A and B are shown apart, each in its own frame.
Chain A
Amino acid sequence: MSGLSGRQTGAVRLMLMLAVGFVFILPLLWMVATSVKPEDQAMGAGLSLLPDPPSQVFGMAERNYRSVLTDTTVDFPLFFRNTLIIVLLGVIGAVVSSVVVAYGLARVPMRGRRALVVLTVGTMLIPFPVIMAPLFMLYSELGWIGTTLPLYAQFFFGNAFSIFLLYQFFRTLPSELDEAAQLDGCSTFQTFWHITLPMSKTAIAVVALLHFTYMWNDFLSPLVFLVKRDQWTVALGLQLYQSRAGQTPWSLLMAASVITVLPVLIVFVLTNRIFSRGVAEGAVKG
């Protein structure tokens, strides 16, 4: 026999859930709170989420964020633009090439398909640190060091994770579709273009969004390959706020962190909606 009644365990579970949710969201709350405080109050170790007096909040927010966005010694907007361009090119490259490769792998006849799928999954298990040194040498042979090419060029030849996800998705489509299209005189490419692609919008969106987050969050490749400061991404630029002249300006560092986190967070919220819409559409179509 359990010592608690059903209602009591329900209440305990409710309290625990609230506590867990709060603990996980607190670091982000605290980041935002620090970013809207004057520096001396941020360092004052107070537990308040708002500055004192609270009416200061908008003025301080404007001051801190404006300082991050206009400070020419750090030039955060430049890092933001760089990241956006690099990530956009990488996502376009990865999606276009991976869709084609995954379609070939999943739906077009070929011998040795299994071996190639295994090889593709195998590359995901090779840690990046193992190949980063030779990749650096390879890229400097190609004359790519000093440009942003090392961060996105390879994705135009496909990305293992995206290929694998799309491959699995394409495998689930009924083969009757292809056969019917081919009976109607469609070539393989026409089948791909007119039949498969329109049915795969959600899967493609998911792959694009996952690759976007992956690239936006990447730290090690920019650190290794971006040798010129004016080509840096936000992940690298954030470090410039760390202990400038001995004392880290925490309110500014947190404001810059908010700006770094915001794009992925927005995309994450949108993804949630696309995911649920995809699920709903699937349910309607049966």
Chain B
Amino acid sequence: MATVLRENAGWLWVMPWIVGLLVFFVTPLGMSFFYSLTDYNMLEAPLNVGAKNYAEILRDEVFWKAVRNTLIYAGISIPLTAAVSMAIAGLLDVDSRLSGIVRLCVFTPTVVPLVAAAMIWLWLFNSDAGLINALLGLVGIDGPNWLQAQGWAMSALIVMNLWSIGQAVVIYLGALQNVPQALYEAAALDGMGPVRRFVHVSLPGMAHAVVFNSIIQTITAWQVFATPYIMTEGGPDRSTYFYSHYLYDNAFLFQRMGYASALGWVQIVLIGLCALVPWMISRRLWSTR
């Protein structure tokens, strides 16, 4: 008996977390599943309706619109941020004071609160007095009304997302540090210029990090909320209405807790499926090599 206790003394230490897991994760997940099978508006008792919510989701045009928007955003944003952050990592992969300062500049935006970032970019994208259209005006381009014009609003959000790629850049820089210097020297001896060295030596060195980053970004894309909520309110004409925003509206605007819960479970399934995509692409690439 005493040895059993001694061999399991760790459980005493982790007790707070067990309680936390049960109260703040297991309970809400269980409640969510229960309510997803009901009609519930928080005022009257939940009414059991079976799988009706799930059937309704499949016929819900706004749901499909939100899924489509989220997929468009992820489909453009993830490859784009991967390309840009790898290029910046390649550029900054030198030992110099300037490189250190620029790394700091690139990383700083990632600690700026999302709301403040949204306000800053709301101002930068302002169609009359914003900096971006003022700069475009210098080269004779009449900039669009970024956040209120269909098509442009999503582009604006994707551009803004590029501002906070600092974390990816740091991860890629770390990966580059593990590339043996001898490989670069061999490539230089073969007469490769800096661009070809980047493509043939640096890029393969970052491959694993790209898969990791893409999976993380796929998961976060399904949780995009604050930026479009503040900057476009999902508009114009729902063109920037994201999945998590629709879930939030159902729960707290339309008081449809049952439907919102069902949306949550569908979201888990969709995230799982989407996270497989970067993994499968990487498998395909590696197996052909």
Chain A, interface residues (CB within 8 Å), range: 35 or more
Contact of A133 among B32, B123, B225 (CB under 8 A): B32
Check B124–A4 contact: CB distance below 8 A: no
For the complex, what is the distance from the CA of A42 to the CA of B265, rounded to whole Å? 46
Check A127–B244 contact: CB distance below 8 A: yes
- Is B203 an interface position by the 8 A CB rule? no
Check A157–B17 contact: CB distance below 8 A: yes
Q: Are A17 and B92 also in contact (CB < 8 A) when A138-B28, A265-B108 are?
A: yes
User: Which residues of chain B are near A134, meaning CB under 8 Å?
Assistant: 27-29, 31-32, 35, 261
Q: Are A127 and B94 also in contact (CB < 8 A) when A132-B251, A133-B261, A219-B114 are?
A: no
User: Which residues of chain A are near B194, meaning CB under 8 Å?
Assistant: 2, 9, 13
- Is B234 an interface position by the 8 A CB rule? no
Contact of B193 among A2, A113, A135 (CB under 8 A): A2
Check A27–B124 contact: CB distance below 8 A: yes
Check B109–A254 contact: CB distance below 8 A: no
Check A21–B106 contact: CB distance below 8 A: yes
- Is A183 an interface position by the 8 A CB rule? no
- Is A108 an interface position by the 8 A CB rule? yes
Tell me how many residue pairs across A and B have CB atoms closer than 8 Å. 254
Check B193–A100 contact: CB distance below 8 A: no
Q: Are A133 and B9 also in contact (CB < 8 A) when A20-B102, A43-B128 are?
A: no
Task: For A104, give the chain B residue with the smallest CB separation.
Answer: B13
User: Which residues of chain B are near A25, meaning CB under 8 Å?
Assistant: 105, 108
Task: For B126, give the chain A residue with the smallest CB separation.
Answer: A250
User: Which residues of chain B are near A2, meaning CB under 8 Å?
Assistant: 191-194
User: Which residues of chain B are near A47, meaning CB under 8 Å?
Assistant: 131, 134-135, 138
Check B14–A104 contact: CB distance below 8 A: yes
- Is A264 an interface position by the 8 A CB rule? yes
Stretch of B18-26, B55-63, B145-153, B176-184 that contacts chain A: B18-26
- Is B113 an interface position by the 8 A CB rule? yes
Check A131–B29 contact: CB distance below 8 A: yes
User: Which residues of chain B are near A127, meaning CB under 8 Å?
Assistant: 219, 222-223, 244, 267-268, 271
Q: How far is the CB of B96 from chain A (nearest CB, A)?
A: 8
Check B17–A45 contact: CB distance below 8 A: no
Q: How many residues of B contact A (CB 8 A)?
A: 84
Contact of A101 among B6, B17, B28, B129 (CB under 8 A): B17
Check A260–B115 contact: CB distance below 8 A: yes
Task: For A236, give the chain B residue with the smallest CB separation.
Answer: B115
For the complex, what is the distance from the CA of A239 to the CA of B261, rounded to whole Å? 28
Give a binary string over B105-126; 1 marks a CB under 8 Å from any A CB, 0 the rest: 1101101111110011111101
- Is A202 an interface position by the 8 A CB rule? no
Q: Are A30 and B129 also in contact (CB < 8 A) when A13-B94, A109-B9 are?
A: no
Q: Besides the contacts A30-B123, A108-B9, what 14 more A-B pairs have beta carbons closer than 8 Å? A: A9-B194, A18-B102, A27-B121, A108-B13, A110-B9, A130-B264, A131-B28, A154-B20, A157-B20, A188-B9, A217-B111, A234-B115, A238-B119, A257-B120
18 A/B residue pairs, CB under 8 Å, sorted by A: A1-B193, A27-B120, A108-B13, A111-B8, A123-B21, A126-B25, A130-B29, A130-B264, A133-B35, A136-B251, A157-B20, A163-B17, A188-B9, A217-B111, A236-B115, A250-B129, A254-B120, A260-B113
Residues of B near any A CB (own CB < 8 A): 6-14, 16-17, 19-21, 23-25, 27-29, 31-32, 35, 42, 88, 91-92, 94, 98-99, 101-102, 104-106, 108-109, 111-116, 119-124, 126, 128-131, 133-135, 138, 163, 166, 191-194, 219, 222-223, 225-226, 230, 243-244, 247-248, 251-252, 257, 260-261, 264-265, 267-268, 271
